[in-house]
Structures are given as structure tokens and as C-alpha cells.
Amino acid sequence: MEINILSGALGAEVSGFNLNTITQDNFEKLNTLLLEHKVIFFRDQNISSEELMSLGSLFGPVEEHAYVKGLDDFPQITRIVKAANEKNQWGEGWHSDVSYDVTPCKTIILRSIKIPPVGGDTVFSNMELAWETLDQDIKDIVENKNALHTSNGSKFFVEDYSQMESNGNIGEKYSNEHPIVRIHPETGNKILYVNPTYTKKIIGLPKKESDALLEKIFKHQEKLDLSCRFKWTENAVAILDNRCTQHYAIADFYPGRGLGHERIMDRIAIVGDQPF
Ligand code: SIN
């Protein structure tokens, strides 16, 4: 097995590891790599949907997406499709997946099926480092506070992504409060747990103050110093720890460059804990 570290912040590409052959017995090795690097990548993995589900099950129960319809045969697999002439990309903008849920998923596995010749990379960012490097004055204000995370459910995307189908859920239930600093249940590390896509308000602060503080925090989280970038090839797999990272699918599809090509990914997510 060879490990190629992608940046000083997080991320490693692992070679000589066949994801088809992972069993409960050697799963520990994979999970240790994930906890250390936060996002790990594997190329040339010819895994079927059944094998993707089996891989996910080693981390825990695989869940259906809150409001995106999954594949007919595998409802827990969300197919992320950007049509050839579409500019929008599902997953654009920094976010931690489904942070509006009571128990946001802990692990996400992405498998690339069709990748444009240029464009459509994904960037990942380390939210433990974001906490460590945040201004002390801001830390002192937010350390013991909660924030509200909200999504409009299906309304959020149906108009923007022509190939993605809603499962019909449009609910107020996609609004929950979580600690701004959460503890990683496996490592005990502190994580800065707000994100620009879903976090709307710091509880207990006047709206104006909350908006101003969140803006500063989001700006800090966006620093490229905290990130790594992955250039997809087809049949690659990314396994990411959704508790302590954010990600951003880049929508750099412009005429004469990435526009005019389809991008297709499959995604599964593993049930997580309630942040504490
Ligand atoms: C996502 O945000 O889940 C999508 C990531 C990607 O397509 O690269």
C-alpha cells in the first residue's frame, strides 16, 4: 500500500488497496487511514453498486438521502448528475452534508462514473484545523453556543439540477440546532461545525451580530490553507469523514472548457451521531 499526501491540511490518495476485498477484519486499517487523513481517495476501483453498499455497511448503516430520490434498485445510492450543457453542479458551495439533520451522516463515499475532460474537481477542507486556527476572540464567543442549520428540502434543488429527482420531502424538519464546536466521537478532537450552505444563525445572539460573526467564520473556513483538491478520474472512490470536513464540488463548466460534458457520481452516506 502506498500513501500520497495531497496537502498539508488533509487528504491522501491511497494505492495498492482494493476496496472490493475489504472485510470487517481489515476494515480497521481503512478507518485508521480515514481518521488520520479525513478524506482518502482510491483510483481504478471497479466496484459495483452492491460492492459500494457493502463497503459503506462496514462503517455502519447506510441511509437514504433526506430529500433526493435514490436509484430504483438501491434507494440509498444518490446519483449526482450534471447534464452536458448544465452549468450548475450539485454540491457546489462549501458544506458539510445534511448538517440540518438531527444526526448528520458521519461518512460519505463518492464513486465517479463519468468525469469531464476538464473541470468538476472537488475541494475538501479540514474543520479541526479551522477551529485550531480561528481567532481567539471568536473562539471565546462561540465555544459554548449552538447554531441553527436549515435546508428547504427538495425546494433547495429541483429547479437548479435538471437530472436530480426529489423524493417529495419538503419539510420544516430540516432545521436543527447543533453545537458550534463539536467533539469528534472517535478521536475526541474539536471541530468547527458551521457551514455557509446550511448554517443560518448563532442561537442567543441578535441577528445582526450573528450574521456578522458567521460571515467572519465562513471566510476563515474558506481559506485554501485548510484544503486539498482532488482531480477525478472515472472509477475513483473518495471516502470522507463528514463530521470534521467540508467539501465543495467545483462548477467550472465554461464554454470551450468543461461545458458540454456530463459529470456523474454515485454517493452513499452512513448514519452519524447527534453532534455533541
Ligand atoms: C456532494 O456535495 O455530495 C457532491 C460532491 C461531488 O460531486 O464532487
What's the pLDDT tens digit per position in 84-94? 999 999 999 99
Average pLDDT, the chain: 94
Question: Of residues 68 and 107, which shows the higher confidence score?
Answer: 107
Quote the CA–CA distance of 127 and 124 in Å, as a whole number. Answer: 10
Cα dist from 126 to 54, 204, 256, 274, whole Å: 27, 27, 33, 20
Q: Ligand 1 centroid vs 137 CA: distance in angstroms?
A: 33
Question: Residues of the chain with pLDDT > 90: what percent?
Answer: 84
Quote the CA–CA distance of 60 and 81 in Å, as a whole number. Answer: 26
Q: Ligand 1 centroid vs 95 CA: distance in angstroms?
A: 10
Strands 263-270 and 62-63, by their bridges, are antiparallel
Q: Ligand 1 centroid vs 93 CA: distance in angstroms?
A: 10
Question: What single letter denotes the amino acid at residue 222?
Answer: E
Quote the CA–CA distance of 59 and 27 in Å, as a whole number. Answer: 8
Q: Closest ligand 1 atom, CA of 91?
A: 2
Question: Of residues 160 and 132, which shows the higher confidence score?
Answer: 132
Of 114-128, 163-177, 207-221, least confident by mean pLDDT is 163-177
Quote the CA–CA distance of 142 and 182 in Å, as a whole number. Answer: 11
Yes or no: is domain 2-270 CATH 3.30.465.10? no
Give the pLDDT of residue 182: 98
What do you get for the CA distance between the two ends of the chain, in Å?
35
Band (245; pLDDT cuts 50, 70, 90): very high
pLDDT exceeds cutoff 70 at 272: yes
Question: Of residues 65 and 36, which shows the higher confidence score?
Answer: 36
User: Residue 79's CB: how many other CB atoms inside 10 A?
Assistant: 18
Q: What is the mean pLDDT of residues 17-46?
A: 93
Protein residue with its CA nearest to atom 6 in ligand 1: 249
| Predicted confidence (pLDDT) per residue in 159-203, tens digit | 788 888 888 777 666 899 999 999 999 999 999 999 999 999 999
Give the pLDDT of residue 124: 98
| Predicted confidence (pLDDT) per residue in 233-243, tens digit | 999 999 999 99
Give the pLDDT of residue 152: 76
Question: Of residues 9 and 23, which shows the higher confidence score?
Answer: 9
Give the pLDDT of residue 21: 85
Strands 39-42 and 237-241, by their bridges, are antiparallel
Give the pLDDT of residue 82: 95
- Global pTM? 0.96
Burial group, residue 192, by CB count within 10 angstroms (0-12, 13-18, 19+): buried
